[in-house]
Each structure stands twice: as structure tokens, then as C-alpha cells.
Amino acid sequence: MEILFENGIKPELQAFLVFIGIFAVLYLFRTMILNRLKQLSMKTKTEVDEILVDSIMQIGLLFYFVVSIWGASQFLELPELLVKIINWTTLVLVIYYATKTTQKLSEYFIRHYIFKERKGESDSGVIIKGFITQLTKILIWGGAFLILLQNLGVQISVLLGGMGLAGLAVGFALQTILEDIFAFFSIYFDRPFEIGDFVIFDEEMGTVEKIGVKSTRIRTLQGQELVVSNRELTSKRIHNYRKMQERRIVFTFGITYETEHQKLKKVNKIVNKIFNNIKRARLDRVHFYEYGDFSLNYEVVYYVLSKDYYDYMDTQEAVNLALFQEFQKEGIDFAYPTKRVLLDKN
């Protein structure tokens, strides 16, 4: 072909032959080879090759046409403006399709590596996945735009400097909001709590209902909705009862000083008997541990074999009722604050 061109074929004919050759090769590659590659990619375990093949198959005929014109223009003496238009158009299309492919690959890696263990996504998971995907998309297309400007002869160093100053100004203005957003990332990836968890922090307690980008909403035991900023929440010491398999309970009771010694010795047996009849509780210990101001005090430690708060309250109620009933049978009196006044008859 090169020898043929050197033997006097007109540049216009050379350009036409080059145009037809490039366009034909690209079209045959699209219709024949790509279809074969598509079938092979479907047999592999990874999706990367499928994404690459699909991206190439989505390239339109306009791209083939423009690339063919660009190749043909190398054999012609064209006006400088027309050459620039052809080169810029080709560059724009190349960067456009390369960026689209890069975006699809980034979405694949975000979906399969960063979020590969995120099954049954909560609202917060959907939000943060969408946020990261959109942020990555902006960065990729922004980088592609800067590359395009640089190839067009624009001095992007000045532009980047201006963008940096603007970014600092926006960062200072939105400092509190950005802190909440970064705290949201921390909550999502570290998972100190999730939607449905019962948490306690400071003097507040309740069930987590929603984890937003800026704040978390908690339904308290009183029924009202508590809205706490993510920044404030991540700085607190949080008690999370989600992973608790059983609940340790300590409670005390007192009996009167008038109780006989033999009855005092029966108290431990009574408490053990009560817990033997409660299936979802396990007694740890019971001791007569203190001489109080007006009572002989006992301490009981047991475990509720459930993390549910209502199970704990039901169990404690059953213990209290059984304890009251057994003490009535044995003639043991619960103590309550009393005063004894001694009168001198003289």
C-alpha cells in the first residue's frame, strides 16, 4: 500500500482508501470479533471482561466515522482550523468513551469489593453507596475534563489553584456539616449500631430508627423521636444491646430485724426454688450481704437468657411475685423505713 501511494496516487484517493480501510476494519471488529469475545466473556467468573466488551460494543458508528476521517486527514493538506476541529472531535470522543468505561469499572469495584458484604442494605447503606458512586463519578468525569482541557492547550494549573482556594472556602463554611458526613461514614463502616438496635448514651436511650447523612433518629422509651447529629453521636460512649445474648441483673431486698435466725437461713433456699421454676433466667448467687439502717439486706444476681427488655421486665415481675408469695407462707416480712422512739418514764 505504501509503495502504491509513492507511485503517484493522488492524496485525495489515498485519504479515501484510508477512510474506507479504517472504517471497514473497525466495523468488522465490531460485528464479528466482538460477538465472539462477548460469548467468551460470559463463560468467565469475573464481570470485568464483560464490562469491557459491553463498553466497546456500545461505541457508536459516529466514533468509527470520526476516527476514519482523522486517519484520512493525515494524507491531506487541510486548513489549520479544520485540522484542529477533526483532532478535537476525535479527542473528545476518545476521552468520552474511555471515561464511560472507567466509570462502569469503578461502579463494579465499589459494588463487589467495598460493599461485597453488604447484604440486605438498610437506608443508610443505600445512601452511602449512592454517595460514593456519585462522588467517584464526579471525580472520574472531572479528571477527564481536565485531561481534555490540557490537550486543548489550556493551562489547568491556574484552574486547579482557583478550585483549591474555592474548596477551602467551602470547607470552612460547611465545616459542621462535613463533620457530620464523615461521622456518617464512620457509623456505616465501623457499624457501632444499626437500625433496630437499642442503644444507651449519656442519659438517653431508645431504638435506632434511621441513620441519615447528617443525623440519626432514635425512638425513646417515652415515645418521642430524638434527633442527634452524627458528629455528636460518634463522640459518645454508646451501649449497644444488639449483640447481648443475655442480660445480667442485680437487685436487692430487705427483711425486718425481727426475723428469726432459722428463717434468715431459709431465704437462700426460697430464692433458689423460685429461679428453678423460671425457664428464661439463671441464678448466679444470692447473699445476705449487709446490715442496713432498718433492714437485713440481701443481694441477688441472675441472668435473663434473652436480650429483649420486655423479657427482663416479665422475669423480674415473676420473681417479685413469687418472692412475695413465699415470704408470706414462711412469715417473713419485708422491711420498710421505720422509726423506734424510746420513752423514758422517769
Across residues 163-181, what is the average pLDDT? 57
pLDDT at 6 over 60: no
Query: Could you say which DSSP state residue 334 is in?
Result: B
pLDDT digits (tens, 9 = 90+) for 9-23: 677 788 788 888 888
At residue 255 the predicted structure's pLDDT band, cuts being 50, 70 and 90, is very high
Q: What does the pLDDT read at residue 238?
A: 83
Cβ-count burial 122-151 (b if 16+ within 10 Å, e if not): bebbebbbeebbeebeeebbeebeeebeee
pLDDT digits (tens, 9 = 90+) for 116-125: 554 444 555 5
> What are the DSSP calls for 145-212, one per residue?
HHHHHHHTT--HHHHHHHHHHHHHHHHHHTHHHHHHHHHHHHHHHH-S--TT-EEEETTEEEEEEEE-
Q: What does the pLDDT read at residue 303?
A: 94
Enclosing H/E stretch for 87: helix 80-109
pLDDT at 166 over 60: no
Query: Could you say which DSSP state residue 115 is in?
Result: T
Which of the two residues, 303 and 142, has the higher pLDDT score?
303
Name all contacts of 182-189 with Cβ < 8 Å and 24+ positions apart: 183/229, 183/230, 183/231, 183/233, 183/234, 184/124, 184/128, 184/211, 184/212, 184/213, 184/214, 184/230, 185/128, 186/230, 186/234, 187/124, 187/211, 187/216, 187/230, 187/233, 187/234, 188/124, 188/125, 188/128
Q: Tell me what percent of the residues of the chain surpass a pLDDT of 70.
A: 79
pLDDT at 139 over 60: yes
Which of the two residues, 258 and 185, has the higher pLDDT score?
258
Across residues 99-108, what is the average pLDDT? 82
Q: What does the pLDDT read at residue 135?
A: 76
At residue 1 the predicted structure's pLDDT band, cuts being 50, 70 and 90, is very low
The model's pTM: 0.46
Domain pair 186-240 / 247-330, same fold: no
Which CATH class, in words, describes the domain spanning 186-240?
A: mainly beta
Across residues 155-159, what is the average pLDDT? 61
Which of the two residues, 248 and 135, has the higher pLDDT score?
248
Please give the Cα distance from 284 to 178 (Å, whole number). Answer: 48
pLDDT at 184 over 60: yes
The residues pairing with 297 across neighbouring beta strands, listed in sequence order, are: 254, 290
**Domain boundaries defined on the chain:** 2-154, 186-240, 247-330
Contact 99, 144 (CB under 8 A): yes
Residue 328: Cβ within 10 Å count = 11
Which of the two residues, 290 and 136, has the higher pLDDT score?
290
Residue 64: Cβ within 10 Å count = 19
Please give the Cα distance from 170 to 321 (Å, whole number). Answer: 63
Q: What does the pLDDT read at residue 49?
A: 74
pLDDT digits (tens, 9 = 90+) for 18-68: 888 888 888 787 777 777 777 777 677 777 777 777 777 777 778 888 888
Q: What does the pLDDT read at residue 174?
A: 52
Computed over every residue of the chain, the mean pLDDT equals: 79
Which of the two residues, 199 and 303, has the higher pLDDT score?
303
| Assigned CATH topology for domain 247-330 | Alpha-Beta Plaits (3.30.70)
Q: What does the pLDDT read at residue 120?
A: 44
